Amino acid sequence: MAKIRVRYLNDRIDKLCYVEGKSDWIDLRAAEDVELRAGEYRLIPLGVAIELPKGYEAHVVPRSSTFKNYGIIQTNSQGVIDETYCGDNDQWYMPVLAMRDTVIHENDRICQFRIYEHQPALEFEETDKLEGKDRGGFGSTGKQ
């Protein structure tokens, strides 16, 4: 099992854990109480600095219940944190926009992450014709 070095910047939030067989996404928690008014933007601290392995990045997204429970959306849709953001004070944050007045309490699970290996180097080759079947250029069915 791979080991990831984590520095907790708040000793009152639950520690990160990987739940075998349930999901390979790891929950992240608010590191402080946050009160937001509708339309307000805030970076919510997540209370961790993480040293990812070389060649990996973390993808941070809201939990499926985040909007329902708190009325917030993640402003960058998905955050990507690469392995160079690895210092003692490189705390992870969730940038959010409140769609309604809300309160998020310290230790509330508000987002999740998983790590991915970096994409390999690619070379693009220009062509006048592709080999795949033409599906009409719209969605999975090719129909508008």
State whether residue 143 is helix, strand or coil.
coil
Q: Tell me, what amino acid is at 82? A: D
User: What's the CA gap between 82 and 58, in Å, rounded?
Assistant: 6
Active-site residue among 14, 24, 33, 82?
A: 82
Active-site annotation holds for 128: no
User: How many other CB atoms are found less than 10 A from the CB of residue 106?
Assistant: 15
User: What's the CA gap between 30 and 13, in Å, rounded?
Assistant: 8
- In whole angstroms, how far apart are CA 84 and each of 26, 53, 54, 57? 20, 10, 8, 9
Strands (E), 52-126: 56-62, 72-74, 79-82, 93-98, 102-104, 109-117
- In whole angstroms, how far apart are CA 108 and each of 33, 34, 45? 9, 10, 12
Catalytic site positions: 82
